[in-house]
Amino acid sequence: MAIGSVQSQLESYLSLTMQRQTVLASNMANVDTPGYKTKDIDFQSEMARALAAPDGSTSEASPHAVTGLMERPDGNNVDIDRESVLMAETQLQYQLGTQLLKGNFHTLLAAINGGS
C-alpha cells in the first residue's frame, strides 16, 4: 500500500473526528436551550463512506438525533456526562490520528534519507 493512501485515510479520520468534536461542542453549548435534542455522528458508517469516496474529496458528515436519552421537562435531552466522555474520547482519537500521521511522515523521511 502506498504511503500516500495511508495519509489520505488518516486525513479522513482526523476530519471526521474534528466534525464530531464540533457536534459535541454544539451539544454542550445548547445544554440550557429548551427543546434542543442531542445530535451525534455515526462514526463507523461515516468513516466507511469517507474511505469509499475517491481520494481528495472531502465530505461533510450528517449529524442525526440521538434516541434513548432522558428528556427534561423543557424538552432538552442533553446528557452532560455522555457529552463529556465522548469529548474526551474524541480528543484521544484525534491525538491517535495526529501521532499516526507523524509516524507516517517519519517513515517517509527515513525512506528519503535512505534509512540512515
Partner 1 sequence: MGLFTALDISASALAAERQRSEIASSNLANVDTTRSSSGSGPYRRKEVVLQTAGTSFSSLLGASGSSGSSSAAVPVGGVELTRVVEDTSAAIRRYEPGHPDADKDGYVSYPSINPAQEMVDLMGSVRSYQLNATAVNASKQMIQQSIDLLKS
* Shortest spacing between CB 114 and partner 1, in angstroms: 18
9 near partner 1 (CB under 8 A)? no
* Shortest spacing between CB 26 and partner 1, in angstroms: 4
3 near partner 1 (CB under 8 A)? no
Q: Which three cell numbers stand for residue 7?
A: 495519509
Q: Which of 8, 11, 30, 47 lies at the binding interface for partner 1 (CB under 8 A)?
A: 30
101 near partner 1 (CB under 8 A)? yes
List, in order, residues 6 or more apart from 49 with CB less than 8 Å away.
Answer: 59
**Per-residue DSSP letters for 5-73?**
HHHHHHHHHHHHHHHHHHHHHHHHHTTT-TT---EE--HHHHHHHHHHSPTT---PPPPEEPPSPPPPT
| 64/28 Cα distance (integer angstroms) | 16
85 near partner 1 (CB under 8 A)? no
| 17/9 Cα distance (integer angstroms) | 12
Q: Which of 33, 48, 53, 107 lies at the binding interface for partner 1 (CB under 8 A)?
A: 33
Contact positions with partner 1 (CB under 8 A) in 40-59: none
Site for partner 1, rule CB under 8 A: 14, 18-19, 21-26, 28-34, 36, 39, 60-63, 80, 84, 87-88, 90-91, 94-95, 98, 101-102, 105-106
